[in-house]
């Protein structure tokens, strides 16, 4: 049987306290690339072929449960009532372990950088009969990690740092914490784990020695340190962000996007950049952005929840908010904010404009300083601007309002009623001119000051 055909239960441990984050928010809900750490882990496990996934949370952590369900609706949640160690945490999911899946993967909710292929690599030896597979790595600084005790290439045991002798501490091959376990053995091995050690905890790592004593084979999968990077504090969170950004930028460039200065562009886990997209320096992509081939995102733009069609130009200094849909070859210029608005093909919004809850037809031109007044403090209203319409500069469009196809709105208008197609609307007072008024005014002003 190949490992993909085998059933696989993934258990994500997330009952830690995360004290060092100094946060009101549970550690695993902190985000990297705009997705919670536990969200990343659940997504990767699903890609790696987990057929059932469980998350072990601490008591009262409904927020973690909610986030886990948002990421993976059929996830199973188990509460670890007391934090008695990693083996004890895994056994909180006893109910699903009892179903004896072919493979069991143990992952950590605060270790978000493990790649899909790596979980596959971790599972692979199970298909060949190994009882336990340990994710191993060679850290720059091994202190604090469990050490892998090997002989003739065989993994014999894992010794936690606190329990290790000086000689054992000199071992540089360490436990990344993540494991794969043969499903029909998992409960037997875990139930034999005791807590006679320096921390008085039930260590998951003890199952290696237990498996060996029962005559089973164990294996290791060596991975780069980056993948087992765990987040315990804000500095490690920033490190995780840096590493994930590097991956996302590389993937975007490999897919044919130009990032002029990649280190200045921030992507989200789900940012999609088409071929020949150009992203200038200093652009931030929040979640939910799709940029179709050939569009250009100029510097200092901030985009989230937006779709940008082929050949469109955004920025510099543009802000696209959720629900912005920019049509092919449309242009969004500097200091323009667009929310929940469809901008038609070839439409132009070149400067200093707010469009919210609107639709703008193809080839329409929205002048500088146009504002859709979409909110009265209680409700939001829509503005519809037709194809080829021309909205003069500094106009306020008080929604709900419709500007017909091909209509003109004079500069400085306050438009409160709909404008028919091809009409001109002047929503402002007539200009008044008083010849010589300024001369008279200055004379009076000087006299009053006694000059
Ligand atoms: C663990 C490993 C160690 C490895 C290191 C890698 C054990 C005993 N040790 O140590 O060999 O080098 O990871 O980072 O497994 N958790 C619970 N409930 C508990 C205890 C832990 O859910 O009762 C969760 C934590 O939230 C965390 C994970 O399990 O996500 C690991 O626990 P942690 O206490 O950080 O283990 P380490 O001491 O780092
Ligand atoms: Ca840890």
Residue 70 contacts by C-beta under 8 Å, 6 or more apart in sequence? 39
**Ligand 1 lined by 58 (C-beta under 6 Å):** no
State the Cα–Cα distance between residues 16 and 13, nearest whole angstrom.
8
pLDDT tens column, 384-412:
999 999 999 999 999 999 999 999 999 99
The per-residue pLDDT for 294 is 98
What is the DSSP annotation of 300-364?
A: T-EE-SEEE-TT-EE-SSEEE-TTEEEPTT-EEEEEEEEEEEEE-TT-EEEEEEEEEEEEE-TT-
Tell me what pLDDT residue 4 has: 57
CB of 227 shorter than 6 A to ligand 1: no
**CA distances in angstroms from 112 to 205, 218, 240, listed in the order given:** 20, 25, 8
Neighbouring residues of 426: CB distance < 8 A, sequence distance ≥ 6? 410, 413
Find the ligand nearest to 232 CA.
Answer: 2
The one-character DSSP state at 146 is P
Q: How many residues does the chain have?
A: 451
SS3 401: strand
Ligand 1 pocket check for 146: Cβ under 6 Å? yes
Number of H helices, E strands in the chain: 10, 34
| DSSP codes, 263-312 | GGEE--TT-EE-TT-EE-SSEEE-SS-EE-TT-EE-TT-EE-SEEE-TT-
pLDDT, the chain, mean: 97
Q: Which ligand is nearest to the CA of 164?
A: 1
Output helix, strand, coil percentages for the chain, rounded to the nearest 5: 25, 30, 45
Q: Whose CA is nearest to atom 39 of ligand 1?
A: 145
Pick the atom of ligand 1 nearest to 109's CA.
30
Q: Is residue 64 within 8 Å of residue 80, measured between CB atoms?
A: no
Calculated CA dihedral for residues 55, 57, 62, 66, nearest 10 degrees? -20
**13 with 105: CB under 8 angstroms?**
no
Quote the pTM value: 0.94
CA of 107 to the centre of ligand 2 (A): 12
For 102, phi and psi rounded to 5 degrees?
-65, -50
Q: Tell me, what's the pLDDT at 154?
A: 86
pLDDT, position 274: 98
Any ligand 1 atom below 6 A from CB of 175: yes
108 ligand 1 Cβ < 6 A? yes
Beta bridge partners of 373: 398
Are 333 and 349 in contact, with CB atoms under 8 Å apart?
yes
Closest ligand 1 atom to 18 CA: 26
Contact between residue 211 and residue 132 where contact means Cβ atoms under 8 Å apart: yes
Is the separation of the CB atoms in 398 and 371 below 8 Å? Answer: no
Reply yes or no on whether 351 is catalytic: yes
Tell which residue, 270, 227, 237, has the closest CA to residue 252: 270
The whole-number pLDDT of residue 451 equals 65
Cβ of 177 below 6 Å from ligand 1: yes
- Compute the distance from residue 65 Cα to the ligand 2 centre, in Å: 21
Compute the distance from residue 112 Cα to the ligand 1 centre, in Å.
Answer: 14
> Which ranges of the chain have pLDDT less than 70?
1-4, 451
Instruction: Check if 109 has its Cβ closer than 6 Å to any atom of ligand 1.
Output: yes
Choosing from 68, 108, 158, 207 the residue with most ligand 1 atoms within 8 A of its CB, the one to mutate for a pocket test is: 108
Torsions phi, psi of 261, nearest 5?
A: -135, 85
State the catalytic residue, choosing from 40, 161, 302, 351. 351
Residue 294 · residue 277 · CB < 8 Å: yes
Q: What is the pLDDT of residue 173?
A: 97
Nearest to 161 by CA among 149, 146, 176, 177: 146
Burial class (CB in 10 A: 0-12, 13-18, 19+), 428: middle
Ligand 2 centre distance from Cα of residue 230 (Å): 6
Closest residue (by CA) to atom 26 of ligand 1?
Answer: 16
């Amino acid at each position: 049987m190949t490992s993909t055909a085998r059933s696989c239960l993934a258990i994500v441990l997330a009952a830690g306290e995360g004290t060092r984050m100094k946060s009101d928010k549970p550690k695993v809900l902190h985000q990297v690339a705009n997705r919670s750490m536990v969200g990343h882990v659940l997504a990767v496990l699903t890609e790696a072929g987990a057929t059932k996934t469980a998350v072990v949370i601490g008591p009262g952590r409904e927020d973690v449960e909610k986030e886990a369900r948002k990421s993976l609706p059929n996830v199973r949640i188990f509460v670890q009532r007391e934090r008695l160690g990693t083996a004890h945490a895994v056994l909180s999911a006893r109910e699903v372990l009892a179903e004896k899946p072919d493979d069991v993967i143990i992952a950590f909710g605060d270790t978000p950088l493990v790649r899909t292929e790596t979980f596959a690599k971790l599972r692979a030896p199970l298909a060949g009969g190994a009882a336990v597979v340990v994710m191993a790595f060679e850290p720059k600084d091994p202190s604090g990690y469990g050490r892998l005790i090997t002989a003739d290439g065989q993994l014999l045991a894992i010794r936690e740092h606190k329990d290790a002798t000086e000689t054992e501490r000199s071992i540089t091959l360490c436990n990344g914490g993540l494991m794969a376990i043969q499903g029909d053995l998992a409960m037997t091995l875990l139930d034999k784990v005791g807590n006679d050690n320096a921390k008085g905890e039930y260590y998951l790592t003890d199952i290696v020695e237990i498996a060996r004593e029962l005559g089973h084979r164990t294996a290791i999968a060596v991975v780069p340190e980056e993948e087992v990077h765990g987040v315990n504090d804000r500095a490690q969170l920033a490190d995780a962000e840096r590493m994930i950004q590097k991956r996302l930028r590389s993937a975007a460039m490999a897919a044919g996007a130009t990032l002029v200065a990649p280190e200045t562009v921030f992507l989200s886990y789900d940012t999609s950049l088409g071929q020949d997209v150009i992203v200038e320096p200093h652009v931030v992509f929040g979640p939910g952005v799709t940029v179709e081939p050939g569009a250009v995102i100029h510097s200092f733009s901030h985009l989230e929840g937006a779709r940008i069609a082929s050949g469109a130009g955004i920025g510099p200094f543009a802000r696209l908010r959720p629900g912005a849909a920019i049509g092919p070859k449309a242009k969004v210029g500097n200091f323009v904010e667009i929310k929940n608005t469809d901008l038609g093909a070839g439409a132009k919004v070149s400067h200093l404009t707010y469009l919210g809850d609107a639709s703008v037809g193809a080839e329409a031109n929205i002048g500088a300083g146009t504002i859709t007044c979409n909110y009265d403090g209680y409700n939001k209203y829509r503005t519809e601007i037709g194809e080829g319409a021309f909205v003069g500069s500094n106009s306020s469009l008080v929604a709900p309002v419709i500007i017909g196809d091909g209509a003109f709105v004079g500069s400085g208008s306050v438009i409160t009623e709909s404008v028919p197609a091809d009409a001109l609307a002047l929503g402002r007072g007539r200009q008044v001119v008083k010849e010589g008024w300024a001369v008279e005014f200055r004379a009076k002003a000087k006299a009053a000051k006694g000059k």
